[in-house]
Amino acid sequence: DQQVKQNSPSLSVQEGRISILNCDYTNSMFDYFLWYKKYPAEGPTFLISISSIKDKNEDGRFTVFLNKSAKHLSLHIVPSQPGDSAVYFCAASVISGTASKLTFGTGTRLQVTL
């Protein structure tokens, strides 16, 4: 049972344009969401997160949008750069005040072309 889904396994975007990566979840208990970037043979790198009390969080070129009613979040990268080419994972958790597990999506491979 995949509680966090990234339905697009890959995405190709031209340099300078906007990259939009999507993520859907089914567990309504999730209240904290994160995006990670991963290069081959490396561990994921934290990018940006959002709490369910917000619908938008921005950090430089990265913006995450959360639509709780649709159980959908998206990561916008603008402008996209060749160095952004990687696999992007969204993850979700339930904040309980103690260590909470992260549930990861299956990832979207982003290719930024020149």
Partner 1 sequence: GAVVSQHPSRVICKSGTSVKIECRSLDFQATTMFWYRQFPKQSLMLMATSNEGSKATYEQGVEKDKFLINHASLTLSTLTVTSAHPEDSSFYICSARKTGLAGGLNIQYFGAGTRLSVL
Which residues 13-72 are close enough to bind partner 1 by CB under 8 A? 32, 34, 36, 41-46, 49, 51
Nearest distance, CB of residue 16 and partner 1, angstroms: 28
Q: Where are the alpha helices (DSSP H) in 2-114?
A: none
Burial of 31 (0-12, 13-18, 19+ CB in 10 A): middle
- Only one residue has tokens 């940006």, namely 48
The DSSP output letter for 98 is: S
Which of 73, 89, 110, 112 binds partner 1 (CB under 8 A)? It is: 89
100 touches partner 1 by CB under 8 A: yes
The answer to whether 96 contacts partner 1 (rule: CB under 8 A) is: yes
Site for partner 1 in 69-88 (CB under 8 A): none
